[in-house]
C-alpha cells in the first residue's frame, strides 16, 4: 500500500540502526541507506522533545543536495530520566551507570523523525513511558557483557534480554522504544 504511494520517490534513510532499517523493510518501502557523519551536539538548555527534534533536524541538514524525488528520513532517540537526557553509552562503565539509574524507576523514551524533501520538511516525535523493576548489578553486568548495548539510547534495547526481565510496563508505542514510532512515520508518508 505505502510502496505504491511512494513509487515515484527515492526514499533515503540516514541511519545505521539495523532496527530502523528493518522497520522500513517491514513497511515494504524501497529505500536506500545514505550516511553522513554528524556531531550530535545540542544546546544544553534544550529539554525532552526539543533535543530529539534538534538532532533529527541536524542530521537532515547534512543532506544539501536533495532532488525533487528524494524523501530523506532522519531520526534520533533519547531516554529522558529525572530531567536528564541519556544517549548512547560510550563504554561498559557508562552503560552500567545508565542502567543502574533506570533501575526501579519510570523514564521516557523520546524519538523524533525528520521527513525532508526539496520542498517539504516536517519533524514529528513520539514519547513512550517505560517502567523498570529493580535490577541487580549482576543482571546489569550480564546484559552488558552479552548484549553490548552501546548503540542504544539509555544503554538498553527493549527487544533484548534486559527488556524481557526488567521492563514491567510501557505506556505508548513499543516500536518507539525500539527506535522508531512506525505508526507516525507511516501516517506522514501516506499523507505526502
Catalytic residue among 76, 91, 137, 151: 76
Report DSSP letters for 6-59, one per residue.
Answer: TTTSEEEE----HHHHHHHHHTT--EEE----------TT--HHHHHHHHHHHH
C-alpha radius of gyration, the chain, whole number: 17
Active site residue 30: no
Look up cell 551536539; give the residue.
41
- Burial (CB < 10 A; 0-12, 13-18, 19+), residue 75, is buried
How do 121-132 and 167-171 pair as beta strands? antiparallel
- Three-state SS at 123: strand
How many other CB atoms are found less than 10 A from the CB of residue 83?
Answer: 7
Active site residues: 76
Amino acid at each position: 500500500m505505502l510502496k505504491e504511494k511512494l513509487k515515484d520517490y527515492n526514499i533515503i534513510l540516514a541511519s545505521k540502526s539495523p532496527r530502523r532499517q528493518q522497520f522500513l523493510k517491514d513497511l515494504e518501502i524501497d529505500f536506500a541507506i545514505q550516511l553522513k557523519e554528524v556531531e550530535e551536539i545540542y544546546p544544553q538548555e534544550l529539554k525532552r522533545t526539543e533535543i530529539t527534534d534538534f538532532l533529527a533536524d541536524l542530521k537532515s541538514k547534512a543532506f544539501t543536495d536533495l532532488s525533487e524525488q528524494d524523501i530523506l528520513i532522519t531520526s534520533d532517540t533519547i531516554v529522558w530520566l529525572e530531567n536528564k537526557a541519556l544517549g548512547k553509552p560510550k563504554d561498559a562503565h557508562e552503560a552500567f551507570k545508565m542502567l543502574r539509574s533506570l533501575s526501579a524507576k519510570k523514564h521516557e523514551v523520546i524519538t523524533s523523525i525528520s521527513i525532508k524533501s526539496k520542498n517539504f520538511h516536517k519533524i514529528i516525535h513520539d514519547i513512550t513511558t517505560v517502567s523498570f523493576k529493580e535490577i541487580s548489578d549482576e543482571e546489569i553486568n550480564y546484559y552488558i557483557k552479552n548484549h553490548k548495548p552501546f548503540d542504544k539510547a539509555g544503554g538498553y534495547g527493549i527487544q533484548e534480554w534486559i527488556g524481557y526481565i526488567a521492563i514491567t510496563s510501557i505506556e505508548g508505542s513499543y516500536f518507539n522504544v525500539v527506535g522508531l514510532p512506525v505508526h507516525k512515520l507511516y501516517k506522514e508518508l501516506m499523507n505526502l
